[in-house]
């Protein structure tokens, strides 16, 4: 096992550490309170069920929903798949196998993109909306894409690489109006909100969100647990289950409930709501802004990817021109960060998210994502800045491209020899 004691952790989009209060809440359910929440004939089961229902209310409270609207899953990937494939398969089953139309975005997480591509292989039509250079969709494109057979619009609340927040309330209003006007009578709105929760206020009622994906380990809870908010009321949201079994979770997701993980997610949601209410998240934003200003003041040819105005308070995605991203990662190995999303960091291809923004291939290859968190200190940021600035300058000293650019040579006009 590699030593991590001296690492500066700035990869909170990939995962967050479990808050000590979350661990403390979970421990009884790993020891003496080990009951199965489905055991209704004795106190072990009753206590487990009470804990599960409390956690439902805690998660619901974070997003202005009721506990009855929370469906437990193994994490955001399953939640996204249940929302997307569950809607599609229910539609097929009730329309004699007929497929329909889904709208999503080019910059979605792979869990959404690949779920949609799987449906394409089954005959579904998928519209992938493009984004502006700031990372946000054009609302007119969404309106134009809606059809009578559109059953789902799935738009990520905040992007996992660039932290850009979509105009969620406006999207919700467009989808609700399309359903009401019968332009798209069966359409519902789903949002993958795992990066946004605990970092910005999420209100499913105000934003008219019908389904919302949640993950524990992105907000200081345990890995392996998540949830899908499924709006109750009219029109009713109907999903085909992906996992069959004992009919748990209102028949949407069978399987014995992992009580200790559920308790952890509930406590994490409670703490995240407190962060927002008491202004703790603003301290993270101030630290993020300080880091970006310091980078700009000490290095030239640095570029922020995506909108700074519509952005998560803990995110920086920076391109350090004329230095290869993999070289940067090796040079700043004392800092835990990433050159893309955690799910695609092994790929040598430039980020598909940055390419969708129109970032050219060379600049996309120089991009690093920094994710600050609840436990990030100014001392850690200052130490990270010292490493980043020193190493970028060293790498640029060895870069003929940087030297040529400083001489005023337009690198795009250079014809390189094949020797």
User: What SS3 class is residue 129?
Assistant: strand
Q: Are 43 and 185 a contacting pair, CB within 8 Å?
A: no
Start-to-end CA span in the chain (Å): 44
Residue 9 to residue 373: CA distance in whole angstroms: 9
DSSP code of residue 349: S
HSE on the CB side for 27, CA within 13 Å?
Answer: 8
Residue 377 to residue 381: CA distance in whole angstroms: 6
Helix pair 259-277, 43-62: axis angle to 10 deg: 30
Q: Which two tokens stand for residue 237?
A: 């949201």
Tell me how far CA of residue 379 lies from CA of 12, 274, 337, 385, 386, in angstroms.
Answer: 17, 24, 17, 10, 11
Residue 289 to residue 266: CA distance in whole angstroms: 30
Helix pair 110-121, 76-93: axis angle to 10 deg: 30
Catalytic residue (one of 18, 116, 337, 343): 343
Q: Are 366 and 335 a contacting pair, CB within 8 Å?
A: no
E runs forming strands in 130-270: 150-154, 188-192, 211-215, 226-230
HSE on the CB side for 353, CA within 13 Å?
Answer: 28
Q: Are 146 and 183 a contacting pair, CB within 8 Å?
A: yes
Residue 390 to residue 132: CA distance in whole angstroms: 33
Q: Which two tokens stand for residue 110?
A: 């792979």
**Which residue from 203, 263, 273, 227 is spatially nearest to 53, judged by alpha carbons?**
263
Active site residue 337: no
**Which residue from 193, 112, 182 is spatially nearest to 147, judged by alpha carbons?**
182
Active-site residues: which are they? 343
């Amino acid at each position: 096992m590699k030593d991590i004691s001296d690492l500066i952790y700035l990869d909170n989009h990939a995962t967050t550490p479990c808050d000590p209060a979350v661990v403390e809440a979970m421990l009884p359910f790993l020891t003496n309170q080990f009951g199965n929440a489905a055991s209704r004939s004795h106190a072990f089961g009753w206590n487990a069920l009470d804990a599960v229902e409390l956690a439902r209310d805690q998660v619901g409270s974070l997003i202005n929903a009721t506990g009855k609207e929370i469906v437990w899953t193994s994490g955001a990937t399953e939640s996204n798949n249940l929302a997307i494939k569950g809607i599609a398969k229910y539609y097929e089953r009730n329309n004699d196998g007929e497929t329909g139309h889904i709208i999503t975005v080019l910059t979605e997480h792979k869990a959404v993109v690949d779920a949609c591509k799987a449906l394409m292989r089954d005959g579904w039509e998928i519209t992938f909306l493009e984004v502006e250079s700031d990372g946000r969709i054009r609302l007119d494109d969404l309106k134009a894409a809606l059809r009578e057979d559109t059953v789902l619009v799935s738009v990520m609340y905040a992007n996992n690489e660039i932290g850009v927040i979509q105009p969620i309330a406006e999207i919700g209003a467009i989808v609700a109006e399309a359903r009401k006007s019968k332009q798209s009578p069966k359409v519902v709105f789903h949002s993958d909100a795992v990066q946004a929760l605990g970092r910005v206020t999420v209100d499913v009622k105000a934003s008219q969100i019908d389904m919302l994906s949640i993950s524990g380990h992105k907000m200081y809870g345990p890995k392996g647990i998540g949830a899908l908010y499924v709006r109750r009321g009219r029109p009713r949201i109907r999903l085909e289950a992906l996992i069959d079994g004992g009919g748990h979770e209102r028949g949407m997701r069978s399987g014995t409930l992992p009580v200790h993980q559920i308790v952890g997610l509930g406590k994490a949601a409670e703490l995240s709501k407190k962060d927002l209410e008491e202004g703790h998240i603003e301290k993270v934003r101030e630290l993020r802004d300080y880091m970006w200003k310091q980078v700009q003041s000490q290095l030239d040819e640095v570029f922020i990817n995506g909108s700074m105005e519509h952005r998560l308070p803990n995110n920086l995605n920076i391109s350090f021109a004329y230095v290869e991203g993999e070289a940067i990662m090796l040079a700043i190995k004392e800092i835990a960060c990433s050159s893309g999303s955690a799910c695609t960091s092994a790929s040598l291809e430039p980020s598909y998210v940055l390419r969708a923004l129109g970032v050219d291939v060379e600049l996309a290859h120089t991009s690093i994502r920094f994710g600050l968190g609840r436990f990030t200190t100014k001392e850690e940021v200052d130490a990270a800045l010292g490493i980043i600035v020193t190493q970028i300058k060293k790498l640029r000293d060895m870069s003929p491209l940087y030297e040529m650019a400083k001489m005023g040579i337009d690198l795009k006009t250079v014809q390189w020899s094949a020797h």
